[in-house]
Amino acid sequence: MARTPAEASWGVFSLIRLNAFSFGVTGFITAMDTAVLPVIVLSLAPESLKNSYLAMLGMGGLLVAAVIQPLIGRLSDRTRSPLGRRVPFIIFGTVVVCGSLIFLVLSPNVAALFAAWMFIQANLNIAYGPGMALIRDLVPRSRVGVASSVKILMDAVGGLALVTACAALIGQAAGAGLGPVPVLYVNWEWAVYALLGTALAISVAVTCATVLAKDPRRRARPVRRSDGTSQRVLNRQFGMFLASRLLLMTAIYSFPTYGLFFLRDVVEASNPAQTLSQMIPAIGGSLAVAVFAAGWISDRIGHKPVVIAGAVAGAVSTSWLLTVDTTSGVLITASVIGASAGTLLSANWALANVMGDEQQAGTHIGIVNLSTIGGAAIPRLFGPGIDLLNHSAEDLGYKTLIACCAALFVAGAVTLLPVNPGRQEASASAEPSEQTATPTPDG
């Protein structure tokens, strides 16, 4: 079947350019949380408090994101400018973040580090919140599944690439006592921040250029105060979707949060960190294949069935972890879980987009992402319970965690069953019109 001009203008390469900012933003956050902040905390905090301070930075960042994204999304919905609704916020936030990295270098103590990181988080979310509404703003509904797949892939690739690069730079510096990086002859912090800032700026520039080229008439009009209210965004259908997404995201984040300890305590891997790093390519590969396939399929059969299928597969594959006690067994099972999560993430993000009102996409996506943030935050509260159960019986905490993850997948699927995307869409604005799309087929 021939594609319409609007569909043809949003081929895979155009969608990659539109979602390029996800590479930089997600990579920035993941690299900072995983590789950079732990090293900085070690240099500023007492050994006995390092985990507490690191958790404080992580939870603080999530809380800032939860506050900023819906507010800025709503503000961007109502913005009128020569650059459109979203681009001014994306550019402003990115410029401030890149300029603020110097505050991390100059932080003399944990309090200053916390203040600097919260400021950076606030401005990063000023850019990221409106950016997440671009798919709903510009992409025809028939391409939302593939567009969402590309977005999830850019998240994953950005995280993997920038974490790997930052870890390599820090590793080089570690050999010199965390001084200058031998190859670059500069302090490791300057090298890492230059890398992250450059990646963020380039990826955002690509996205902004794509938006301005694809929407030359700045078609998406700002919402007037009388056009839409929170009542139009928040309704029973949307509430059920948010509850389902919260359950599913909690299921996805829970086991990886404690995966390293599972490898050490249950599988008894001699070097759990190295074992985990060796598993990442296989798990990431299975996730990538599933993400793209799920996007293509969901555009044809509907997004909701694909989400439910991914959730059921996630529940079954997670349950398999109760039976494995070898590294190879964990690798195979984790790869299946990765494929299930990829399927679910892709179709769920597409469903989030098609359920939204185009004129209030920033508000809608900002609220949707509260479920993502909640799903990332809740597992951090499970630690004491896992430790308590492990003390009462060998590995009972990990077994309970796995069972809870499987149950959360099932609960998320069941909660989604009553949701009727068509009913939600009926009250939403029409999808992006074909007349405003610039037909530049690129496959």
Confidence of residue 206 (pLDDT cuts 50, 70, 90): very high
What pLDDT score does 404 carry? 95
Average pLDDT score over residue span 224-230: 47
pLDDT per residue as tens digits for the range 363-411: 888 888 899 889 988 988 888 888 889 889 888 999 999 999 999 999 9
pLDDT per residue as tens digits for the range 123-169: 999 999 999 989 888 888 888 889 999 999 999 899 888 888 888 88
pLDDT per residue as tens digits for the range 400-418: 999 999 999 999 999 999 9
Q: Which domains does the chain have, with CATH numbers?
A: 1-218 (1.20.1250.20), 234-427 (1.20.1250.20)
What pLDDT score does 429 carry? 47
Q: What proportion of the chain, given as a percentage, has pLDDT over 70?
A: 84
Within 10 angstroms of residue 109's Cβ, the number of other Cβ atoms is 9
Least confident range from 37-46, 88-97, 178-187, 245-254: namely 178-187
Report whether pLDDT(231) > 50.
no
Give phi and psi for 78, each to the nearest 5: -100, 5
Q: Which residue has the higher pLDDT, 67 or 261?
A: 67
Q: Which residue has the higher pLDDT, 85 or 282?
A: 85
What pLDDT score does 170 carry? 80
Confidence of residue 176 (pLDDT cuts 50, 70, 90): very low
Confidence of residue 72 (pLDDT cuts 50, 70, 90): very high
Token code pair at residue 120: 């950076």
Contact 132, 3 (CB under 8 A): no
What pLDDT score does 232 carry? 60
Contact 283, 127 (CB under 8 A): no
Give phi and psi for 184, each to the nearest 5: -100, -15
Three-state SS annotation for 69-126: HHHHHHHHHCCCCCCCCCHHHHHHHHHHHHHHHHHHHHCCCHHHHHHHHHHHHHHHHH
Give phi and psi for 261, each to the nearest 5: -70, -35
Confidence of residue 229 (pLDDT cuts 50, 70, 90): very low
What pLDDT score does 343 carry? 93
Give the residue among 111, 95, 88, 113 at the shortest CA–CA distance from 24.
95
Report whether pLDDT(324) > 60.
yes
Exposed / middle / buried, residue 202 (Cβ in 10 Å: 0-12, 13-18, 19+) = middle
In the block, residue with structure tokens 């305590």: 265
